[in-house]
Amino acid sequence: MSNPLSELSAAGVAVWLDDISRDRLRTGNLADLVANRSVVGVTSNPTIFQKAIASSDLYNEQLHDLTVRGVDVGEAVRAITAADVRDACDVLRGVYDASGGVDGRVSLEVDPRLAHETERTVAEARALWWSVDRPNLFIKIPATLTGLPAITETLAQGISVNVTLIFGLDRYDAVIEAFLAGVEKAIDAGRDVGNLTSVASFFVSRVDSEVDARLDKIGTPEAKALHAKTAIANARLAYERYEKAFATPRWKALAAKGAKPQRPLWASTSTKDPSLPDTIYVSELVAPGTVNTMPEATLQAFADHGQVRGDTIRPYYDDARQVFAALASVGVDLDDVIETLETQGVQKFEDSWNQLLGTIAQQLGRSGSD
């Protein structure tokens, strides 16, 4: 039976849930969303885990065992999050198999405090991959400058990667290059790359939040007319770069050896501005070969009243460029916007991770962190 989410899937957009919890897994809620809401993937982050663990008693038995064993806080976090992600991978295994390894993926993030440490990020990625031990896992690595070589090396070792915290077009180009280099290294090492996949998580609503605040300070009618236009324009131009990058002879040579393209993933798709439609960052970013990961409120809103109007990206490249030109004309420095957002993004993830450590430390009945 057709509904907005199934129509979105038919238009080439993979519907993913931006949430995970042991309650959601044990009650069968995730399985229900897969069966009835077209969900074919799951993303997680430290904030999501912190809220899940703080609000549920389903973690008590594992926390008790970890306490008795004297496990330190850092390893306890890894054990608890890996257990939930492993179970989610099992729920989505049928999707993974049916899609040939494209969907059915569940993402688990490396410690965000390692965002500027290449070697430790790779080591953490290997440890998490081993700990979850499911082929449909994605390891989330931030697209910082030091994260880029970690992305390449992790892929080279046959580990699928969700590249997170992408805000700008130039950095997205670097992410695509890191992906291509990683696949090439994996092939050179004799690895089968048929199940080696990746997504590039391009953050959306946070861009509008930052730019619109700057437009408000400028205060001119021309500036106010640009409200809520930057994020969608930015994502649309990212998709244009995706199209170009995966139409080159270099990519075609990798595809001939079984490689799958790195799909753009639209993240941060909940609407922060209450004056905007609550599904705007879904309905305005529809194109084949994309992923949209939504918190459940956005997913259910789209199921209720979302509209799929065909491709809402490729016909609007020129419009997007005009938005960029207009932003420059009113004095918005997009390069500074992107730098600010990346710095804030890494810091927010670090803060969430520290909160997660604190929650686990409290539950373990001791203080301190790893």
In SS3 terms, 257-271 reads as CCCCCCEEEEECCCC
pLDDT at 365: 75
Nearest to 285, CA basis, from 274, 298, 275: 298
Distance CA 282, CA 129 (A): 30
Instruction: Write the CB contacts of 2 (distance below 8 Å, at least 6 apart in sequence).
Output: none
The partner residues of 203 in beta bridges, in order of sequence, read 267
pLDDT at residue 163, rounded to an integer: 98
Listed in order, strand segments (DSSP E) in the chain are 13-18, 39-43, 105-109, 137-142, 161-166, 198-203, 263-267, 290-294
Task: Please tell me the predicted confidence (pLDDT) of residue 370.
Answer: 42
Comparing CA positions, the residue from 34, 30, 35, 32 lying closest to residue 20 is 30
Rounded to two decimals, what is the model's pTM?
Answer: 0.95
pLDDT at 118: 94
Q: What is the pLDDT of residue 369?
A: 40
Q: What is the pLDDT of residue 102?
A: 96
| CA nearest neighbour of 164 among 174, 173, 175, 154 | 175
Q: What Cα–Cα distance (Å) separates residue 80 from each residue in 53, 105, 127, 236, 288?
A: 9, 18, 14, 37, 35
190: left (phi over 0), alpha (psi -120 to 50) or beta: left
CB < 8 Å & 24+ apart, contacts of 255-260: 257/187, 257/193, 258/192, 258/193, 258/194, 259/183, 259/187, 259/193, 259/194, 259/196, 260/101, 260/102, 260/193, 260/194, 260/196, 260/197
Amino acid 69: pLDDT: 92
DSSP 197-216: -EEEEEE-HHHHHHHHHHHH
Regions of the chain short of the pLDDT cut 50? 366-370
Q: Domain for residue 246, yes or no?
A: yes
Whether residue 140 lies in the annotated active site: yes
Is 28 a member of any domain? yes
- In sequence order, which residues have a C-beta less than 8 Å from that of residue 369 and are 6 or more positions away? 73, 74, 354, 357, 358, 361
Q: Which residue has the tokens 């790195």?
A: 262
- What total number of domains does the chain contain? 1
- CA trace torsion 108, 113, 115, 119 (10° rounding): -90
pLDDT given for residue 293 in this prediction: 98
The domain containing residue 84 runs over which residues?
4-364
Residue 297: the pLDDT is: 96
Residue 91 tokens, joined: 């729920």
- pLDDT score of 366: 46
Question: Which CATH number fits the domain that encloses residue 261?
Answer: 3.20.20.70
Q: What is the pLDDT of residue 1?
A: 58
Q: Is residue 142 part of a domain?
A: yes
Inter-residue contact 90 to 101 (CB < 8 Å): no
Give the C-alpha separation, 130 to 143, whole Å: 22
The answer to whether position 369 is within a domain reads no
Which pLDDT tens digit goes with each residue over 67-123? 999 999 999 999 999 999 999 999 999 999 999 999 999 999 999 888 889 999 999
DSSP 278-301: TTHHHHT---TTEEEEE-HHHHHH
Is residue 268 a part of any domain in this protein?
yes
Active-site residue (options: 51, 140, 224, 257): 140
370 falls within a domain: no
Strand partners, 164: 142
Distance of alpha carbon 252 from alpha carbon 242, whole angstroms: 14
Would you say residue 277 lies in a domain?
Answer: yes
Q: What is the pLDDT of residues 45-54, one digit of tens each?
A: 988 998 999 8
